[in-house]
Amino acid sequence: MAKNITPRANDYSRWYNDVIAQAQLAEHAPVKGCMVIRPNGYAIWECIQQTLDRMFKETGHVNAYFPMFIPESFIKKEAQHVEGFSPELAVVTHAGGSKLEEPLVVRPTSETIIWHTYRNWIQSYRDLPLLINQWANVVRWELRTRLFLRTTEFLWQEGHTAHATALEAHEETIRMLNVYATFAEEYMAMPVLMGPKTDSEKFAGAVRTYSIEAMMQDRRALQAGTSHDLGQNFAKAFDVTFQDAEGKREHVWATSWGVSTRLVGALIMCHSDDDGLVLPPRLAPIQCVIVPIWMKDEQKAEMTAVAEAIRVELSGAASVKVDARDQYKPGWKFAEWELRGVPIRIEVGPRDLAAGQVTLVRRDTKVKETVPREAVRERVPKLLEEIQSALFERARSFREANSHRLDDYELFKSQVDEPGGFYWLPWCGSSACEARVKEDTKATIRCLPFDAPEEKGSCIVCGGASERRAVWAKAY
């Protein structure tokens, strides 16, 4: 257990903050609720961003940039939207030394400014679909904030697409939800449930919101990404119509979808341990650190040369760093790179080398293996993939072990805090029952998973007919 990190078992919330502080990922800014993302944390976000950006482009999207300032009147054009976002807005009232005629809202999300702009871009069915993404900062004035998970300003991407039919918009919504699920599972090694949110949990202005939901190590749920089918709501609010192939004018169909720096928080909470960060290899800025070890000064040059040779050998196969610093002992370096979550450590020491081998140490399990010097180039990429799979499997097993199918409300209430986890409960579909559970337990319906089988039952609250189980949990 690393010093200065509270063990998870003692206080999960302090553990999370300690990992972020000790691994120098982020810190609180002088403005309440804002954060500074430090280089170690930002490097993880860059890996996330580059991977997602590639996935968005492979699915036909292009990037653009819309202004951060939105006239206050725009926000008010979509009725649900203004109701949902009004309490959270930051407002610029003065600029250039004078009071502005109309206050400007700092974007909490960009549907309004974007649909105002799309009005001029869309005339005919030939202009559709319009598949645009934006990487940007947004601001939501939250009362309770936590580094990465919920901050006043955060970084995110927001896709905003326009389509000629309701069906196409629906397909796009699901396509991007699937992109998020693939990213979460294959890159973050974080298993997710996916499906629609209930009406009471949907995005302000959406017809239907879908989410991916993951389980953290304290068995709470974390919503990791959302994809919204906006129907014609924003097209109507901003009067965006197109002429179809038959010459008929119709309002455009829309989607929006986003993930944010919250994913860095999810990554920390999903895999890390009492020694610090554990990163899945596919999102690790440094995948492999090589530490040359010397007892006598005259060994230093040789060990460092071997470390350097291995680094060169691995280039293209893994991102590698050699830590040949003089002022720190090997043990100190091991702890530092463990803290920072580097998936593989390679130890290059005189004894191993005399035997023609080096030592590889996995960050996730701490398991050591010695491999012949000449096998390193082949072994490291394989070991990275083994670690990637092992992290996913561990998280999946953990989620399964902490998922419960219950049919009795009193039993559920007695369990929801301890042990906690995901509760698959029959539900009649009524908002009243949903609200009742939230009031009684603070648990919410995370989503109605696509892969929940049809299963006739009785709503756990009112006893009414239930067709499928919904997944309840306490959430971040």
- Region of 62-70, 190-198, 219-227, 386-394 interacting with its own copies (CB under 8 A): 62-70
Site for its own copies contains 36 (CB under 8 A)? yes
The least distance separating its own copies from the CB of residue 92, rounded to whole angstroms, comes to 5
- Segment 323 to 362, residues that bind its own copies, using CB under 8 A: 327
**CA nearest to 181, candidates 52, 285, 278, 271:** 52
- The binder of its own copies chosen from 1, 64, 295, 401 (CB under 8 A): 64
- Segment 129 to 148, residues that bind its own copies, using CB under 8 A: 132, 136-137, 139, 141, 143
- Segment 299 to 328, residues that bind its own copies, using CB under 8 A: 327
Report the C-alpha gap between 476 and 141 in whole angstroms. Answer: 17
Burial 198-229 (b: 16+ CB within 10 A, else e): beebbbbbbbbbbbbbbbbbbbbbbbbbbbbb
- Region of 15-23, 32-40, 357-365, 417-425 interacting with its own copies (CB under 8 A): 32-40
Nearest residue (CB) to its own copies, 234 versus 472: 234
Pairing of strands 130-139, 62-63: parallel
- The binder of its own copies chosen from 13, 60, 62, 450 (CB under 8 A): 62
Nearest residue (CB) to its own copies, 62 versus 295: 62
**CA nearest to 41, candidates 13, 55, 14, 21:** 21
Nearest residue (CB) to its own copies, 34 versus 452: 34
The least distance separating its own copies from the CB of residue 131, rounded to whole angstroms, comes to 9
The least distance separating its own copies from the CB of residue 294, rounded to whole angstroms, comes to 21
- Region of 33-41, 293-301, 369-377, 456-464 interacting with its own copies (CB under 8 A): 33-41
| Cβ-based neighbour number of residue 238 at 10 Å | 22
406 near 460, Cβ under 8 Å? Answer: yes
Nearest residue (CB) to its own copies, 123 versus 370: 123
Pairing of strands 253-260, 249-251: unpaired
Q: What is the DSSP letter of 187?
A: I
The least distance separating its own copies from the CB of residue 176, rounded to whole angstroms, comes to 17
Site for its own copies contains 30 (CB under 8 A)? yes
Report the C-alpha gap between 233 and 251 in whole angstroms. Answer: 9
Nearest residue (CB) to its own copies, 64 versus 401: 64
The least distance separating its own copies from the CB of residue 208, rounded to whole angstroms, comes to 27
Segment holding 109, helix H or strand E: none
- Segment 438 to 467, residues that bind its own copies, using CB under 8 A: none
Nearest residue (CB) to its own copies, 68 versus 174: 68
Q: Max alpha carbon distance in the chain (Å)?
A: 84
- The binder of its own copies chosen from 2, 55, 68, 335 (CB under 8 A): 68
- The binder of its own copies chosen from 5, 23, 37, 48 (CB under 8 A): 37
Give φ, ψ of 27 to 5 degrees: -155, 165
- The binder of its own copies chosen from 2, 21, 29, 353 (CB under 8 A): 29
Q: What is the DSSP letter of 43?
A: H
DSSP 282-341: GG-SS-EEEEE--SSHHHHHHHHHHHHHHHHHHTTTS-EEE---SSS-HHHHHHHHHHTT
Q: Where are the alpha helices (DSSP H) in 321-416?
A: 330-339, 350-354, 376-401, 409-415
Nearest residue (CB) to its own copies, 67 versus 356: 67
**CA nearest to 147, candidates 32, 251, 34:** 34
- The binder of its own copies chosen from 15, 16, 74, 253 (CB under 8 A): 74
Amino acid in the structure at residue 9: A
- The binder of its own copies chosen from 56, 66, 156, 203 (CB under 8 A): 66
Report the C-alpha gap between 181 and 195 in whole angstroms. Answer: 11
Nearest residue (CB) to its own copies, 36 versus 167: 36
The least distance separating its own copies from the CB of residue 45, rounded to whole angstroms, comes to 8
Nearest residue (CB) to its own copies, 110 versus 226: 110
Nearest residue (CB) to its own copies, 46 versus 440: 46
Report the C-alpha gap between 154 and 139 in whole angstroms. Answer: 7
The least distance separating its own copies from the CB of residue 35, rounded to whole angstroms, comes to 7
428 near 464, Cβ under 8 Å? Answer: yes
Say how many residues touch its own copies, by CB under 8 A. 55
Give φ, ψ of 248 to 5 degrees: -85, 140
- The binder of its own copies chosen from 5, 19, 23, 35 (CB under 8 A): 35
- Segment 80 to 139, residues that bind its own copies, using CB under 8 A: 86-97, 103-104, 106, 113, 116-117, 120, 126, 132, 136-137, 139
In the structure encoding, which two tokens stand for residue 109, read together?
């999300």
173 near 208, Cβ under 8 Å? Answer: yes
Chain residues in the site for its own copies (CB under 8 A): 27, 29-31, 34-39, 42-43, 45-46, 62-71, 74, 86-97, 103-104, 106, 113, 116-117, 120, 126, 132, 136-137, 139, 141, 143, 152-153, 155, 327
